[in-house]
């Protein structure tokens, strides 16, 4: 997707602070952190949002949920963390490439962060 911000980050066209990478998943620090640890985990293949998850691509989403606890452990989030995915305008989704926020490092409120 040539006009997708996160596809450009995955491709290295736009710089990011990498936290984790494998064949199908990329994770990087959010540019506007809402908590002491704020990491975004994305599939390398473009999926717009949760509504774009289907039988063909569900394996990468499952893999993301294997990777998330490993990232949380590496980030030292022993006290817990929150995983958030905003889907659509009412949720405040601003980047149309499926991503999972990992938030932690403080006592989180019931707001997103």
**Under DSSP, is residue 96 helix (H, G, I), strand (E, B) or coil?**
coil
Say which entry of Zn ion, ligand AMP, none residue 102 contacts (CB below 5 to 8 A, set by partner kind).
none
Distance, in Å, from the CA atom of 45 to the CA atom of 66, rounded to the nearest integer, reads: 17
What is the footprint of ligand AMP within residues 23-42 (CB under 6 A)?
30-32, 40
Binding of Zn ion by 1 (CB under 5 A): yes
Q: Say whether 63 is catalytic.
A: no
Q: Which is nearer to ligand AMP, 12 or 78 (CB)?
A: 12
Q: How far is CA 29 from the centre of its chain?
A: 9
Task: Enumerate the active-site residues.
Answer: 99
């Amino acid at each position: 997707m040539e006009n997708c911000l996160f596809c450009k980050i995955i491709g290295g066209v736009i710089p990011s602070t990498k936290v984790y990478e494998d064949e199908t998943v990329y994770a990087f620090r959010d540019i506007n952190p809402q908590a002491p640890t704020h990491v975004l985990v994305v599939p390398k293949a473009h999926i717009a949002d949760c509504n774009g998850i289907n039988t063909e691509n569900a394996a990468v989403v499952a893999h993301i949920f294997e990777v998330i606890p490993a990232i949380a452990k590496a980030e030292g989030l022993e006290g817990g963390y929150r995983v958030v995915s905003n889907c659509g305008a009412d949720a405040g989704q601003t980047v149309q490439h499926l991503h999972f926020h990992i938030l932690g490092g403080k006592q989180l409120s019931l707001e997103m962060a």
